[in-house]
């Protein structure tokens, strides 16, 4: 008991607990049991119960602790399982992510290819948008033949076209030099070549040069055959070469740029107009030479007429002088005859003077002449008239020349209009009737398809009210030919 009391004292002091706690009460009870013997038994019982209680509490504490540890371990295991599940899920997600990234990469490649295709389609669409349909081109580009040709370049002389052609050819050379003439889609082609970068670039460069050379040779061959009548066919040939070469070179992801094709079409248009201008200049030279020949003939006619008038003037002047001398010694009967002769000679000399003045006026006034209206039914059909001008003293000679071997039948004259300014009158009529011109490109041909009444109305209203028009064309040779053909058909039947 004493030992337990000491134990309790030590425990109480060590635990530093107040006296009213369980240990404090036991300590007090142990101290009192020293003085009171019955209390010692009670203390022993209490101590035994306390020990038993403490063991029970320790066991419960141990069970509680074990349960907590077990619960903690279970939670830890659950967390480990969750972590493992998360890791498995992460691995699965990573695999899915890699798959998605791979698919995304493939999709991007497909998108890039599609975008390249879209660009090609857009370029082709732009080409089709910039260039009219062949049906429209047939209407627009073959107009030289049908008379509605419209030039894009209003150059006055052919040399200007030649200079512009050189500019276009220089621009094409710059396109090639700067690498703008060819489109290279390496993104599509690069995967098919197991070559190093240098070798691959050389290969693509060689293909590009080959494609350009083929297209340029095709264009040069086509342009070498250009004339004033075949621009539509030449353009079709160039565009066909462009499409075929691009189709063949698509295997190497190389194509000719549409802008380069536009330069070739521009060169074609210039070359065409160059040929038309050269043809016009030839016509101008031909017309100038014809005008010079006509002037030479006019001057020759005037010179012959002057000599003839001078000769007649000398002859009749001498005759007049002889008659005057005879009158001095003539009788009445002779005088009457001589006076009549004198009057005739004086009238003749006056007529010669008028002719002399007229010829002198024609010589000095280089614009005086005749505007003629003629037709040739056998050669050109009904209601086709030539409105021309001549300074000949005898304009019918000019009509006879026009009826030479170049046409199968002779021309018929419908009107011959004298004018002090024949070129102005001719140009005025040409402008008024321009919309009726048979050849709307070369107006120097001077042929118009319209009723004769329209020409007569214009001439009499604004230029010469008294000029006489012959409505009916004789066309004798043509009509006789028709009758002969009809009789031959009857005989053969």
Residue 182: phi and psi, rounded to 5, are -125, 140
Least confident interval from 115-129, 296-310, 398-412: 115-129
Q: What pLDDT sits at residue 19?
A: 43
Q: What pLDDT sits at residue 30?
A: 61
* Contact of 151 with 273, CB cutoff 8 Å: yes
Average pLDDT of the segment spanning 59-86? 84
Residue 16, pLDDT > 50, answer no
Least confident interval from 28-37, 412-421, 443-452, 457-466: 28-37
Average pLDDT of the segment spanning 317-329? 84
Residue 15, pLDDT > 80, answer no
Residue 391: phi and psi, rounded to 5, are -105, 10
> Which residues does 309 contact at the CB level (< 8 Å), separation at least 6?
352, 355, 356, 359
Residue 191 — very low, low, confident or very high, per pLDDT cuts 50/70/90? Answer: low
Among 34-48, 274-288, 475-489, name the most confident range.
475-489
Residue 234, pLDDT > 70, answer yes
Q: What pLDDT sits at residue 381?
A: 92
Average pLDDT of the segment spanning 317-340? 82
Among 21-25, 99-103, 386-390, 486-490, name the most confident range.
386-390
* Contact of 298 with 391, CB cutoff 8 Å: yes
Least confident interval from 43-47, 392-396, 436-440, 465-469: 43-47
SS3 369: strand
Residue 161, pLDDT > 50, answer yes
Residue 490, pLDDT > 90, answer no
Average pLDDT of the segment spanning 43-47? 70
The reported pTM is 0.46
Q: Which of 321, 136, 146, 332 is CA-nearest to residue 235? A: 136
Residue 493 — very low, low, confident or very high, per pLDDT cuts 50/70/90? Answer: low
Q: What pLDDT sits at residue 282?
A: 81
Least confident interval from 160-164, 277-281, 347-351: 160-164
Average pLDDT of the segment spanning 280-304? 76
Residue 134, pLDDT > 50, answer no
Q: What pLDDT sits at residue 387?
A: 95
Q: How far apart are CA 362 and CA 296, in angstroms?
A: 14
More confident residue, 276 or 418: 418
Percent of residues, the chain, with pLDDT higher than 70: 78
For the segment 395-448, what is each residue's pLDDT rounded down to a tens digit? Answer: 898 898 888 868 899 999 999 999 888 999 999 999 999 999 998 877 778 899
Report CA-CA distances (Å) from 388 to 120, 327, 420, 430. 58, 53, 15, 9
Residue 63, pLDDT > 60, answer yes
Percent of residues, the chain, with pLDDT higher than 90: 15
Least confident interval from 385-389, 442-446, 470-474: 442-446
More confident residue, 44 or 464: 464
Angle ∠(436,440,445) on CA atoms, nearest 5: 90
Residue 148, pLDDT > 50, answer no
Average pLDDT of the segment spanning 318-327? 84
For the segment 345-369, what is each residue's pLDDT rounded down to a tens digit? Answer: 888 888 888 888 887 777 777 788 8
Average pLDDT of the segment spanning 2-6? 49
Residue 14 — very low, low, confident or very high, per pLDDT cuts 50/70/90? Answer: very low
* Contact of 430 with 443, CB cutoff 8 Å: yes
Q: Which helix (H) or strand (E) holds 387?
A: strand 384-390
Q: What pLDDT sits at residue 131?
A: 47
Q: What pLDDT sits at residue 186?
A: 57
Among 2-16, 90-104, 284-298, 448-462, name the most confident range.
448-462
């Amino acid at each position: 008991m004493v030992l337990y009391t000491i134990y309790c004292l030590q425990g109480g002091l060590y635990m530093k607990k107040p006296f009213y706690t369980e240990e404090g009460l036991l300590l007090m009870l142990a101290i009192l049991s020293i003085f009171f013997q019955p209390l010692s038994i009670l203390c022993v019982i209490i101590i035994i119960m306390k020990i038993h209680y403490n063991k029970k509490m320790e066991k419960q504490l141990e069970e509680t602790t074990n349960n907590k540890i077990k619960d903690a371990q279970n939670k830890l295991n659950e967390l480990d399982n969750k972590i493992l599940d998360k890791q498995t899920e992460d691995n699965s997600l990573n695999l899915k992510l890699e798959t998605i990234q791979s698919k995304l990469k493939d999709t991007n490649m497909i998108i890039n290819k599609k975008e390249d295709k879209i660009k090609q389609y857009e370029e082709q669409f732009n080409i089709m948008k910039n260039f009219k349909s062949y049906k429209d081109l047939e209407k627009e580009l073959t107009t030289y033949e049908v008379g509605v040709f419209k030039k894009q370049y209003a150059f006055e002389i052919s040399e200007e076209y030649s200079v512009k052609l050189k500019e276009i050819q220089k621009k094409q050379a710059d396109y090639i030099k700067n690498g703008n003439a060819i489109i290279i889609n390496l993104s599509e082609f690069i995967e098919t070549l197991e070559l190093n970068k240098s070798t691959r670039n050389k290969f693509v460069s060689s293909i590009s040069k080959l494609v350009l050379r083929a297209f340029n040779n095709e264009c040069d061959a086509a342009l070498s055959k250009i004339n004033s009548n075949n621009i539509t066919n030449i353009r079709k040939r160039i565009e066909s070469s462009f499409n075929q070469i691009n189709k063949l070179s698509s295997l190497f992801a190389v194509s000719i740029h549409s802008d380069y094709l536009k330069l070739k079409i521009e060169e074609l248009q210039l070359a065409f107009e160059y040929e038309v201008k050269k043809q016009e200049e030839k016509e101008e030279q031909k017309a100038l030479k014809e005008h010079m020949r006509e002037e030479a003939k006019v001057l020759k006619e005037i010179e012959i007429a002057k000599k003839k008038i001078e000769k007649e003037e000398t002859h009749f002047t001498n005759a007049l002088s002889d008659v005057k001398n005879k009158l001095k010694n003539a009788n009445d009967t002779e005088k009457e005859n001589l006076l009549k002769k004198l009057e005739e000679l004086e009238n003749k000399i006056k007529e010669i003077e008028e002719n002399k003045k007229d010829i002198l006026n024609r010589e000095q006034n280089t614009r005086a002449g005749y505007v003629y209206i003629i037709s040739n039914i056998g050669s050109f059909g009904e209601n086709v008239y030539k409105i021309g001008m001549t300074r000949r003293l005898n304009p019918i000679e000019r009509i006879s020349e026009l009826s030479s071997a170049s046409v199968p039948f002779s021309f018929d004259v419908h009107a011959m209009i004298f004018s002090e300014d024949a070129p102005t009158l001719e140009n005025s009529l040409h402008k008024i009737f321009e919309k009726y011109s048979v050849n709307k490109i070369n107006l120097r041909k001077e042929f118009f398809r319209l009723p004769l009444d329209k020409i007569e109305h214009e001439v009499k209203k604004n230029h010469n009210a008294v000029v006489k028009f012959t409505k009916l064309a004789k066309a004798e040779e043509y009509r006789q030919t028709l009758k002969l053909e009809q009789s031959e058909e009857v005989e053969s039947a």
